[in-house]
């Protein structure tokens, strides 16, 4: 099948590579000339495990091509995926200017029947808006399909190739069959392809992300309660998660969620509710609590040193900057809040991340926060007063504690991801602060 993907960002690039891997002829188009030039040189603009090999293999085989000629991609494709950004607008809603801009371009370049697929995360009613925009410029037949993505950064290839489910929103029997054919190689283990109306498909994406964000935030609130009453959230999490009605996923306490999806999608869903006079109070609370949780580790630092004034002049090492491991994505990462708050109190920040150093440098510069980026994790702890663990990269799980202790002026760790056992840390001589558990070694 001839497939066009408009947008070579995270979702578009993963979709293009995976569709090509299943034998389709895929054209991936983007207006960013530098990005397309880099892709044509074999350079991947994002860090996603396995993506570089997949792109290289299919580009070499001629099944995957990259171009800035969006009109060409439209004319040469039977199925056209819109996979451009929907950034958060000032009122919290999703800004659809890029999606509707692509719809206009599709309408102006129609050369036969097309299936236009919304792959971007868009609010309810967007399929209607896309169809309306295309109709302004063509009388040719087309169908608009809503096909939300459910990719986790760090495991996007597996998520695409082995999906829990595929959601297809359309009222067209013919479009549904073509979409089933396109996705059939990925559901050979009989995971479902769910066909529904466009609006239900659009709401499904936001509802799924909001529910996952709610689970994360709920456990963070329980963790904060555990600290106060003397309970251990690790035990509570297992006690709750082994209930078959609940399950263990997304119940790990920490310093709040970030990234390109949860924060933006939660706020967009809140805005959709407001526009339709539906007050989504639980979802509003999720957003508020998550923003507060990002400062939880900083409050532990303040309490440990006896006040914000005592933080001034101290140096803190931060391990992990990306919002989660196996990505270089810094969007709404908790590390941004943590470093900013400590910096505003007069502290010095030294930081290390296995993959996100370049994107982090740009993010901190735009915020006006000065950070010293270190060549490795132990370089960050050398001369620091304490270590803050913010992202749970695997290489941080079994560190050399002797080197950490030798580097720090005092053996103090603030662990925002609960990587270690408090009793072990006390035996090793550390004052160890974690989330939802009692301080050890104090």
Enzyme catalytic residues: 261
CA distance linking residue 317 with residue 373, whole number of Å: 10
Residue 110 tokens read as: 């129609």
Q: Looking up tokens 């007063």, which residue turns up?
A: 385
Q: Could you give the CA distance from residue 160 to residue 43 in angstroms, rounded to a whole number?
A: 21
Q: What is the C-alpha to C-alpha distance for residues 389 and 416, in angstroms, rounded to an integer? A: 6
Using alpha carbons only, what angle is made at residue 231 by residues 225 and 235, rounded to the nearest 5 degrees? 110
At 182, list the tokens.
Answer: 């396109």
Neighbours of 9 (CB within 10 A): 17
Is the distance from CB of 192 to CB of 264 less than 8 angstroms? no
Q: Which residue stretches of 388-429 are H helix?
A: 401-407, 422-427
Residues 29, 35, 40: CA angle, nearest 5 degrees: 75
Pairing verdict, β 142-146 and 79-82: unpaired
Beta strands in 236-376 (DSSP E): 315-319, 348-352, 372-373
HSE-CB at 14 with a 13 A cutoff on CA atoms is 24
* Residues forming beta bridges with residue 351, ordered by sequence position: 318, 373
Strand order in 412-415's β-sheet?
372-373, 348-352, 315-319, 386-389, 412-415, 431-433
Which 3-state string (H, E, C) describes 103-150? HHHHHHCCCCCEEEEECCCCCCCHHHHHHHHHHCCCCCCEEEEECCCC
Q: What sign for the dihedral angle of Cα 244, 195, 203, 3?
A: positive
DSSP, collapsed to helix, strand or coil, labels residue 255 as coil
The number of beta carbons lying within 10 Å of the beta carbon of residue 243 is 9
Which residues are paired to 6 by β-bridges? 29, 82
301, 389 in Cβ contact below 8 A? no
What are residue 112's DSSP bridge partners? none
Q: What is the C-alpha separation between 298 and 346, in angstroms, rounded?
A: 13
């Amino acid at each position: 099948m001839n497939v066009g993907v408009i947008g070579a960002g995270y979702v578009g690039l993963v979709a293009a590579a995976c569709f090509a891997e299943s034998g389709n002829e895929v054209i991936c188009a983007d207006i960013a000339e530098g990005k397309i030039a880099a892709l044509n040189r074999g350079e991947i603009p994002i860090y996603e495990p396995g993506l570089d090999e997949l792109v290289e293999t299919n580009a070499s085989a001629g099944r995957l091509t990259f171009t800035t000629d969006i009109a060409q991609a439209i004319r040469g494709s039977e199925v056209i995926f819109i996979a451009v950004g929907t950034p958060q607008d000032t009122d919290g809603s999703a800004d659809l200017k890029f999606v509707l801009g692509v719809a206009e371009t599709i309408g102006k370049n129609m050369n036969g029947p097309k299936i236009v697929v919304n792959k971007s995360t868009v609010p309810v009613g967007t399929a209607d808006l896309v169809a309306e925009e295309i109709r302004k410029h063509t009388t040719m037949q087309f169908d608009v399909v809503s096909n939300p993505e459910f990719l986790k950064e760090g495991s996007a290839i597996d998520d695409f190739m082995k999906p829990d489910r595929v959601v297809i929103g359309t009222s067209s029997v013919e479009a549904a069959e073509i979409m089933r054919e396109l996705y059939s190689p990925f559901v050979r283990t009989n995971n479902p392809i769910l066909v529904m109306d466009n609006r239900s498909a659009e709401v499904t994406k936001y509802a799924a992300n909001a529910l996952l964000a709610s689970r994360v935030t709920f456990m963070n609130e329980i963790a904060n309660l555990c600290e106060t009453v003397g309970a251990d959230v690790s035990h509570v999490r297992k006690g709750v998660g082994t209930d078959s009605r609940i399950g263990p996923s997304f119940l790990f306490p920490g310093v709040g969620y970030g990234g390109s999806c949860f924060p933006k999608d939660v706020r967009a869903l809140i805005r959709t509710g407001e526009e339709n006079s539906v007050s989504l109070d639980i979802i509003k609370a999720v957003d508020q609590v998550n923003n507060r949780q990002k400062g939880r580790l900083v409050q532990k630092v303040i309490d440990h040193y006896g006040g914000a004034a005592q933080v001034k002049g101290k140096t803190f090492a931060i391990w992990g900057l990306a919002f989660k491991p196996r990505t270089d994505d810094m969007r709404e990462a908790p590390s941004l809040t943590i470093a900013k708050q400590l910096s505003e109190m007069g502290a010095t920040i030294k930081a290390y991340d296995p993959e996100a150093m370049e994107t982090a440098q740009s993010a901190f510069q735009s915020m006006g926060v000065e950070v010293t980026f270190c060549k490795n994790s132990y370089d960050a702890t050398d001369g620091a007063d304490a270590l803050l663990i913010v992202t749970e990269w695997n290489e941080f799980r079994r560190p050399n504690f002797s080197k950490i202790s030798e580097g720090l002026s005092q053996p103090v760790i603030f662990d925002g991801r609960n990587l270690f056992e408090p009793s072990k840390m006390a035996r090793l001589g550390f004052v160890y602060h974690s989330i939802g558990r009692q301080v050890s070694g104090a």
